[in-house]
C-alpha cells in the first residue's frame, strides 16, 4: 500500500514507546517513527524492535542522527560515535531511514546545553560555510558504516530560522548537493513541509530529489503563526497554518515517492492532549488535505510513464 500514515513520536512526547505503539495500533495505523531517547528509555533498540513488532507496526524512520558541526576534535569524535550508534539502532529496529539534523553553528552550542565560553562567541564560530564543510566531511565519514548496516542517512533541511542553532542545512537543494557524492541508497533527503514550504525552488527541487531517487521520507505538519515562544513548537496540525498541502503533496507523488507519510508536530497544545485525539485529527486532516493530492500526483505520474 502506498502513502500510509505514520506517527512520529515527537507528536506524542509524553508517551513511552510502548504507549505510543499501543495508541498507534488502537487508532488503526500501522507505522511509527520513534525518537532515539525512547529506545534508550525502553531498554535499548532490541527491546524497542520487539515492542514495535508486538504492536503489529513497522518502523518508518529513526529520529535522529546528525549534529556534525563541532569544530573541536573531541566534539567531532563524539558526534561520529553517536551517529554510528544511531546507525546500529536503526538497523536493529528495522528501518533503513535515519533522519539527520546536521547541527548549527558552534557559536550557538551553548543554547543547546553544551558548555560555553567567551571564545565560542568569536568570528570563527559564526563561519556557516566552514560548518557546512564539516557536515559534508562527517557524512562522507559515516557513509561506509551506514552502507554496511543497510541504513540510509536521511538529510533533513531545517527551516532557516534554525540555521544558527539546529541545522546549517536550510534548503532541499542544498541537501541534494550534499548527498550528490554518495549513492542514493545510502544518502537520502526528507521533505518536511514545515521546513521547506516557503522555498521558491521547492517544486523544482522535489522533482530533482525524485529523479535522483533520494526521497526517503515525506513528513507533514503545518507552519503556524504567531511563532511559539519556543520556536521549535511552532509546528501545527495540517490545516491549522499556512502550508499548501495539496500542492506540495502532489509534487512529492509526481516525483515518484509512494512511501509512508509521517506526522511530526511539536506544539504544546497538541503534545499535551490525549494521543487518541491527536491520532484521530491526524487521520482526518490527512484524508482531507494530503492523501487526495498524493493519489492525484501518483496517477499523473503513472499516466506519464505509460
The burial of 77, by beta-carbon neighbours within 10 Å (0-12 exposed, 13-18 middle, 19 or more buried), is given as: exposed
Q: Which of 81, 180, 198, 280 binds its own copies (CB under 8 A)?
A: 198
Q: Which CB, 242 or 272, lies closer to its own copies?
A: 242
Contact 9, 15 (CB under 8 A): yes
How many residues bind its own copies, per CB under 8 A?
39
Contact 168, 103 (CB under 8 A): yes
Q: Which of 107, 221, 238, 270 binds its own copies (CB under 8 A)?
A: 107
The percent of the chain in helix, strand and coil, each rounded to the nearest 5, is 50, 15, 35
Q: Which CB, 40 or 127, lies closer to its own copies?
A: 127
CB under 8 A: which stretch of 31-39, 69-77, 183-191, 235-243 binds its own copies?
235-243
64 preceded by cis ω (within 30°)? yes
Instruction: Compute the least distance from the CB of residue 122 to its own copies, in Å.
Output: 11
The Cα 1–Cα 185 span in angstroms is: 21
CB under 8 A: which stretch of 2-10, 69-77, 137-145, 191-199 binds its own copies?
191-199
Instruction: Compute the least distance from the CB of residue 70 to its own copies, in Å.
Output: 16
Q: Which of 51, 57, 109, 163 binds its own copies (CB under 8 A)?
A: 163
Residue 5 backbone class (left: φ over 0; alpha: ψ -120 to 50; beta: rest): beta
Q: Which of 111, 114, 180, 287 binds its own copies (CB under 8 A)?
A: 111
Residue 210, all three cell numbers:
525524485
Applying CB under 8 A, does 235 fall inside the site for its own copies?
no
Could you give the 3-state DSSP secondary structure of residue 5? strand
Q: Which of 126, 208, 213, 295 binds its own copies (CB under 8 A)?
A: 126
Per CB under 8 A, contacts with its own copies among 87-106 are: 105
Applying CB under 8 A, does 286 fall inside the site for its own copies?
no
Sign (positive or negative) of CA dihedral 131, 235, 232, 84: negative
Applying CB under 8 A, does 176 fall inside the site for its own copies?
no
Residue 89, all three cell numbers:
539502532
Q: Where are the beta strands (DSSP E) in the chain?
A: 5-8, 31-33, 58-59, 62-66, 97-101, 152-155, 187-192, 215-220, 222-223, 235-236, 261-263
CB under 8 A: which stretch of 44-52, 121-129, 259-267, 272-280 binds its own copies?
121-129
Task: Give the footprint of its own copies on this chain (CB under 8 A).
Answer: 105, 107-108, 111, 123, 126-129, 132, 159-161, 163-165, 168, 170-171, 173-174, 177, 197-200, 223, 225-227, 229-231, 241-244, 246-247
Amino acid at each position: 500500500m502506498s502513502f500510509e500514515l505514520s506517527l512520529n513520536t515527537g507528536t506524542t512526547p509524553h508517551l513511552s514507546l510502548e504507549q505510543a505503539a499501543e495508541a498507534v495500533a488502537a487508532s488503526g495505523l500501522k507505522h511509527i517513527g520513534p525518537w532515539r531517547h525512547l529506545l534508550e528509555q525502553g531498554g535499548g533498540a532490541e527491546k524497542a524492535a520487539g515492542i514495535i513488532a508486538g504492536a503489529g507496526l513497522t518502523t518508518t524512520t529513526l529520529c535522529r542522527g546528525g549534529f556534525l558541526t563541532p569544530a573541536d576534535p573531541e566534539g567531532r569524535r563524539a558526534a561520529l560515535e553517536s551517529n554510528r550508534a544511531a546507525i546500529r539502532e536503526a538497523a536493529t529496529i528495522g528501518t533503513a531511514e535515519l533522519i539527520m539534523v546536521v547541527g548549527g553553528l558552534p557559536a550557538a552550542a551553548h543554547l543547546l546545553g553544551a558548555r560555553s565560553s567567551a571564545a565560542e562567541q568569536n568570528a570563527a564560530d559564526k563561519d556557516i560555510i566552514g560548518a557546512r564543510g564539516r557536515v559534508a566531511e562527517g557524512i562522507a565519514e559515516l557513509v561506509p558504516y551506514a552502507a554496511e548496516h543497510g541504513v540510509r542517512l536521511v538529510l533533513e533541511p531545517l527551516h532557516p530560522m534554525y540555521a544558527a542553532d539546529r541545522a546549517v542545512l536550510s534548503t532541499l537543494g542544498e541537501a541534494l548537493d550534499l548527498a550528490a557524492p554518495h549513492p542514493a541508497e545510502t544518502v537520502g533527503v526528507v521533505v518536511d513541509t514545515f521546513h521547506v514550504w516557503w522555498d521558491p525552488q521547492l517544486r523544482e527541487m522535489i522533482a530533482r530529489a525524485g529523479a535522483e531517487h533520494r526521497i526517503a521520507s515525506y513528513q507533514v505538519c503545518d507552519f503556524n503563526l504567531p511563532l511559539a515562544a519556543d520556536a521549535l513548537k511552532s509546528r501545527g496540525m495540517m490545516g491549522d497554518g499556512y502550508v499548501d498541502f495539496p500542492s506540495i503533496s502532489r509534487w512529492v507523488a509526481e516525483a515518484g515517492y509512494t512511501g509512508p507519510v509521517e506526522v511530526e508536530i511539536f506544539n504544546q497544545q497538541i503534545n499535551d492532549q490525549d494521543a487518541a485525539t491527536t491520532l484521530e485529527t491526524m487521520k482526518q486532516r490527512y484524508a482531507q488535505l494530503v492523501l487526495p493530492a498524493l493519489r492525484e500526483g501518483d496517477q499523473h505520474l503513472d499516466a506519464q510513464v505509460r
